[in-house]
Amino acid sequence: MITKRPKVRENSVSSLNAAIETMNLAEKVSSITPAKAVFATVSVLLVMIKVCFLPFHNEMFQVHA
């Protein structure tokens, strides 16, 4: 079970990176100003989640024997 934890974190980072890139691309191709603002905001929130939450992911779910 412990060997799966790094894989879960790796998958989470990969998913967040894909979502961030999607939001950045959507912001660039959108011609509607309010939509651009929403895509930029969501992208920033995803980066904040990636930076703030994931470093603590292993500590939060660590199994103590």
Question: pLDDT per residue over 1-22, tens digit each?
Answer: 455 666 777 888 899 999 999 9
Domain assignment present for 31: yes
Task: Evaluate if residue 57 carries a pLDDT over 80.
Answer: no
Are the C-beta atoms of residues 46 and 24 closer than 8 Å to each other?
Answer: no
How far is 64 from 62, CA to CA, in rounded Å?
6
How far is 27 from 29, CA to CA, in rounded Å?
6
Domain assignment present for 65: no
Domain assignment present for 12: yes
Are the C-beta atoms of residues 39 and 2 closer than 8 Å to each other?
Answer: no
Domain assignment present for 52: yes
Q: Tell me, what DSSP letter sits at residue 11?
A: H
What total number of domains does the chain contain?
Answer: 1
Domain range for 28: 4-60
Domain assignment present for 38: yes
How far is 54 from 15, CA to CA, in rounded Å?
12
- Confidence (pLDDT) at 64: 46
